[in-house]
Amino acid sequence: MKCPECDMVNKEGSRFCSNCGAPLVEKKRVEKKGKGVIIAVAVVVVVAVAAVSYFTVFGDETERANELVDMANREVNLGNDFLVNDVSVKLAEFREVNFDLETESEINGEISKVSGWRQDAVGMKTTIGRVKDHFEKAKGYYEETKELRLPGWYHEYVELKIRALEKDLERMEKIEELLGNYALYYAFAESYLRGEEALMGVEDDLDEGNSYVENGNYSDAVDSYKDALVKLRDSQEAFSAAGEIIDLDYMDDLEEYLEGLDSALEALVQATELLELGNLFGADALLDSANVELAALEVPEGLMEGGLEGWYNVYIEGVIEEIEELLEEVKELEEEAEDLYKENA
């Protein structure tokens, strides 16, 4: 062991220098203590550097997460703008169709409204596609934050926002379904009302033809019955188109009724043509046949009672309820996320 005073090399373990008598153990302790201090300081420095480095990186990733959340919120707001301004306003105008109309003017007015609503429903499906695109982008931004090193509460916040968006996307699917159902409903109504309009004309021509027959004006009666037959076939075509859009038992009953009316009108046309030629015997037989057919005809029950009301309740009202339930779930998740953010941010 080397003496710190005279540099004399002493035996290992010596307490005093054999040359000058200087204490060796005390010096050793001082050196040892000094090394310990150096080590301790080094550890503190390393920990401090690591902490600064960690929090610097951690802070950078939180900042990036905030940027992604802001970008996601912008996409959500853009989607909601489309919803509020281009969809909700028009959807609020939609209503049930009034099928209980008494004049051609009223029917034409309702047809005009129905046609406009149908076009709106079809056009809004494209708008919902845009809303979904914005929501999908927002979800993508939120998904990016899951790869960052963030506090546990922040990850929980992001998960809540993602779940809210997923529910919103479900809601968009349901709104698309609703718009498709509205388009069907209004297309059905448009065809059905055109059938009603034509059928109303049939009744007028039939009454007019009967009046001509009573007055012995067989030529005009023939023309009236033929006009009625043309309008009847127009109505059959319109009703048939409606039945292809929404399949109801009522439409089958209506088709049967119209076929019976068609047969009776054919007989009336032939009868009045015979009357015009003076063939009273043949005319009487046909008139009797027509009257029997007309008397046997039973007008089917009302359209709403015949199935359309049930269809509307399921495919319109039922889907609206599902949309409202999904909206409530979205609101709850958004509120939970907002509360969590306020508590920790």
Tens-place pLDDT, residues 5-22: 767 676 676 665 655 555
Q: How far apart are CA 174 and CA 157, in angstroms?
A: 26
Tell me the C-alpha distance between 315 and 182, whole Å.
8
**Is 213 among the domain residues?**
yes
Query: Which position has the token pair 């009625």?
Result: 228
pLDDT of residue 59: 53
Q: Is residue 252 part of a domain?
A: yes
Residue 3 domain-assigned (yes or no): no
In a domain, 85, yes or no: yes
What total number of domains does the chain contain?
A: 1
CA–CA separation, 112 vs 91, rounded Å? Answer: 17
Q: Is residue 45 part of a domain?
A: no
Tens digits of residue pLDDT in 209-242: 999 998 999 999 999 999 999 999 999 999 999 9
42 domain residue, yes or no:
no
* Tens digit of pLDDT at every position of the chain (345 positions): 677 776 767 667 666 565 555 566 544 443 444 445 444 443 333 333 333 344 444 456 889 999 999 999 999 999 999 999 999 999 999 999 999 998 999 999 999 999 999 999 999 999 999 999 999 999 999 999 999 999 999 999 999 999 999 999 999 999 999 999 999 999 999 999 999 999 999 999 999 999 999 899 999 999 999 999 999 999 999 999 999 999 999 999 999 999 999 999 999 999 999 988 888 888 888 888 888 888 888 888 888 888 999 999 999 999 999 999 999 999 999 999 999 999 997
pLDDT at 16: 56
DSSP annotation string for 86-145: IIIHHHHH---------SHHHHHHHHHHHHHHHHHHHHHHHHHHHHHHHHHHHHHHHHHH
| Residue 70 maps to a domain | yes
Q: Does residue 105 fall inside a structural domain? A: yes
pTM of the model: 0.78
How far apart CA 202 and CA 299 sit, in angstroms, is 14
State the pLDDT at residue 55.
41
- Domain span at residue 212 reads 59-344
* pLDDT reported for residue 6: 65
